Structure 1
Amino acid sequence: MANIIIVGTQWGDEGKGKIVDCLTEKSNVVARYQGGHNAGHTVVIGGDKFILHLIPSGVLHKDKLCIIGNGVVVDPLALITEIEELKARGVAVMENLKVSKNAHLIMPTHVSLDLSKELKKGSKKIGTTGRGIGPCYTDKASRSGIRMLDLFWPEQFKEKLRANVADANYMLGQFPDTKKLGADEIYNMYMSYGEKLAPYVDDTDITINEAIKSGKSVLFEGAQGTLLDVDHGTYPYVTSSNATAGGAMTGLGVGPKCIDEVLGVAKAYTTRVGEGPFPSELMGQEGELLREKGAEYGATTGRPRRCGWLDFVVLRHAVRVNGLTGLVITKLDILDGMDKIKVCVGYRYKDQLLKDFPKEMPILEGCTPVYEELDGWTGHTTAGVRSYGKLPQKAKDYMKVIGETLGIPIAIVSTGQDRDDIIYS
């Protein structure tokens, strides 16, 4: 099997975890390249649900190497908890999990700053999960971050920690209700985390490149989605890392020549969680129907997702900035029973018809969607269908419109939660 990047094409929550889990069967290595434990990948196997936050979805397969790359920010307690929960459910996690020495650590200072800054923004809040992701990436970019490897150099770690805590407490002084943090308590806590994580820490850039050189196949797993990318998303309502395909190279330390395919994952409709513009959002009964039928609640936070029709302006943008070679459509079954299905083919801004996704926030916030209406497949079902030939004709027509509009093939269709509810082209 080829080396493939799996990337979200919308605002995240597209079902990447299931697709990675399915493709892992023919891969040797699964590597996560960005984000933190603010992401959640849900995989259902025989009715059992697994929600993964940091560990790649490939861990649910035996004898597959899973890598958490340098581009991921790691809350060590969250990672330890996830490892222990998987072990308690009979999932083998030991030599098959490697964590980059260069991955930056989320500290209690980051969480306090995240929560305090978001609260201060009031009505202008971004919708962060409050888990310290943004402040951790801020320290990384300002060259004051603490990395996984620092846990194994206690004096160096202590020196960095004291400087960071002092800086954080200075900033937290702006928020009178926020408790100041103590360096000694954090030091002792993180030293214990280091002891537990030591068996997993590795030079993952060397490991993954040696695997590729030896002919092994790698799945590159991203979190969030294209419209949450810090450079190519709906800034400032984005995450703090590069969720697009380019992040796979910097987030794992591999060259672009290693990549054979880039598969974009899209729901058969659109969702987003948190604040920010969402042109095709449905505010009424149709949006509620999609949310309840699709169980559109965040895997990590439980927050209700905003729902809307499929947006071709968004998807064209995702095809372009990721260099997609194929598309994966998930949750097709959620559209079962709908008499008519709309697709957004452009945006109306004042007297202009926009076909390309606008970068200017005032324009994006002032856009209204331009829809085309397609026939649904009322009286037929796609749920659990595992052969393309057995899909209702109107569902096939819907897939054809998507593929032809975007100019790329549809490689996979997911028709349900379970691992086996899937169609390969």
Structure 2
Amino acid sequence: MLDILVGGFYGDEGKGKVASYLGLKGGYTLAVRTGSINAGHTVNYQGRTWKIRVIPSAFVNPNVKLALGPGLLTSIEQLEKELEETNSKSRILIDPHVGIITKAEVLEEQRDEFLMKIIGSTGQGVGTAESKRVLRKLRLAKDFRELESVIGDVPETIIETIREGNSVIAEGTQGTYLSLFHGEYPFVTSRNTTAGGVLSEVGVGPKYVRDVIVVFKSFVSRVGEGYLEGELPREKAEEMGLVEKGTVTGRPRRVAPFNISLAKRAVRLNSATQVAITKLDAIFKQDKHVRDYSKLSAGSRNWIENIENELKVPVTLIGTGEDSLDMIDLRKEKLGE
């Protein structure tokens, strides 16, 4: 069956960490990526760090096959760079309908003062490329001879993988509240970033879905413009050790305390069946690298249980450090898996 992984806030929730952990421990045969090069996932595993934008984070398991869904956008340069860094060219499949961003789209977007100065675009050419796709002017992967050897039908591959009795994970991008349809328009991205959008981008219907895993961080962060409820002054964020920088832009992330109202709505918008919470150690520093729930501090356990009671969805994965395996896995206890 198909599991979907999405962000519950404004991106930067730690989806890369969760996806890499599930790639190692989730029993998946195939991992599919959606989104584009304007958002990055960070993976830390066995002393190495990767900052990737288009390759599925499950690449850390060499036995997992990888695919880019038809709704994805990438530049050939970024794709080749990541294939090299992750040593995954021998197991990648790229749908012929993947959109290709060229320097023309990047330059056009960077000249748009509204996007760059008012919205806070990352300037990667993604919005411009999406616009061209809608106008049927964008070039696709099938139009580039250098990609011929890795082109294939990704929706059909997903369906056949499932029919053979195997599991697939679809990795979403950014977060629920950057969705073109559900975020604070116009301070949003150029696609639907909810579970429904992920399904559309990978090209299969809802009957194949087993679980929707929504990822929240222990606090809220946001890059770029737009309202952020409860935003902390930078001095306070630094004092609390919550200062971060965006994976793609390097810009400081604005931060705020965990927002239960946003989390509840994200659970509903995505039809969440599981919740993952990352960076527990950012607010409960004594619990860094803990991998056994019973060894968490009482404060951490109470905090997790209160969130679970509010959301009415099981918290099955809890991140406590940078490494992919710094994870408390409660799927067996909560779901019987």
Same fold at TM > 0.5: yes
1:10-49 equivalences under 5 Å are 10-25=9-24, 26-33=27-34, 35-49=35-49
Structure 1: where are the runs of 5+ without partners?
Answer: 152-193, 338-380
Partner AA of 1:30 in structure 2? A
- Matching residue of 1:98: 93
Distance 2:124 2:71 in 1: 17
Distance 1:70 1:295 in 2: 35
1:116-195 equivalences under 5 Å are 116-117=111-112, 119=113, 125-151=118-144, 194-195=145-146
User: Could you list the per-position Cα deviations for residues 54-103 of structure 1 after superposition, in whole angstroms to 9, with x for gaps in the alignment?
Assistant: 110111211211111111111111111222233xxxx3x23311111001
Match of 2:318 among 408, 413, 420: 413
- Matching residue of 1:228: 178
Rg (Cα) greater in structure: 1
Partner AA of 1:263 in structure 2? I
- Matching residue of 1:200: 150
> Cα gap change, 1:120/1:27 in structure 2, threshold over 3 Å: closer, same or farther?
closer
Distance 2:89 2:103 in 1: 26
* Contact 2:242 2:255 survives alignment (8 Å): no
- Matching residue of 2:85: 85
Superposition TM-score, scaled by structure 1 size: 0.75
- Matching residue of 2:188: 238
Cα distance, 1:198 vs structure 2: 2.2
Distance 1:239 1:121 in 2: 10
Distance 1:269 1:10 in 2: 9
Q: Structure 1 runs of 4+ off > 3 angstroms?
A: 120-123
Distance 2:127 2:234 in 1: 33
* Contact 1:281 1:287 survives alignment (8 Å): no
Distance 1:122 1:424 in 2: 40
Distance 2:239 2:167 in 1: 40
Distance 1:55 1:10 in 2: 22
> Cα gap change, 1:55/1:139 in structure 2, threshold over 3 Å: closer, same or farther?
same
- Matching residue of 1:67: 67
- Matching residue of 1:259: 209
Distance 1:120 1:307 in 2: 24
Q: Aligned pair 1:108/2:103, yes or no?
A: yes
Distance 1:122 1:147 in 2: 25
Distance 2:128 2:251 in 1: 22
Cα distance, 1:48 vs structure 2: 1.2
Secondary structure, aligned partner of 1:314: helix
* Contact 1:280 1:310 survives alignment (8 Å): no
Secondary structure, aligned partner of 1:413: strand
Q: Aligned pair 1:322/2:322, yes or no?
A: no
- Matching residue of 2:334: none
> Cα gap change, 1:149/1:262 in structure 2, threshold over 3 Å: closer, same or farther?
same
Cα distance, 1:248 vs structure 2: 2.1
Cα distance, 1:219 vs structure 2: 0.6
Cα distance, 1:122 vs structure 2: 7.3
User: Could you list the per-position Cα deviations for residues 329-364 of structure 1 after superposition, in whole angstroms to 9, with x for gaps in the alignment?
Assistant: 100001125xxxxxxxxxxxxxxxxxxxxxxxxxxx
Distance 1:285 1:397 in 2: 28
Secondary structure, aligned partner of 1:275: coil
Distance 2:235 2:246 in 1: 20
Distance 1:97 1:306 in 2: 35
> Cα gap change, 1:242/1:121 in structure 2, threshold over 3 Å: closer, same or farther?
closer
User: Could you list the per-position Cα deviations for residues 212-260 of structure 1 after superposition, in whole angstroms to 9, with x for gaps in the alignment?
Assistant: 1111100110010000111111111111111110012211111100000
1:287-302 equivalences under 5 Å are 287-290=237-240, 293-294=241-242, 296-302=244-250
Q: Aligned pair 1:383/2:333, yes or no?
A: no
Q: Percent identity?
A: 35
Q: Aligned pair 1:8/2:3, yes or no?
A: no
Secondary structure, aligned partner of 1:233: coil
Structural RMSD (CA): 1.5
1:271-290 equivalences under 5 Å are 271-290=221-240
Cα distance, 1:120 vs structure 2: 5.0
Structure 2: where are the runs of 5+ without partners?
Answer: 331-337
> Cα gap change, 1:150/1:388 in structure 2, threshold over 3 Å: closer, same or farther?
same
Partner AA of 1:247 in structure 2? G
Aligned residues: 328
Distance 1:81 1:328 in 2: 29
Superposition TM-score, scaled by structure 2 size: 0.94
> Cα gap change, 1:414/1:149 in structure 2, threshold over 3 Å: closer, same or farther?
same
1:301-340 equivalences under 5 Å are 301-336=249-284
* Contact 2:33 2:171 survives alignment (8 Å): yes
- Matching residue of 1:397: 302
Secondary structure, aligned partner of 2:138: coil
Distance 1:255 1:199 in 2: 27
Distance 1:122 1:101 in 2: 30
Cα distance, 1:415 vs structure 2: 0.3
Distance 2:65 2:251 in 1: 32
Partner AA of 2:30 in structure 1? V
Partner AA of 1:139 in structure 2? K
Secondary structure, aligned partner of 2:162: helix
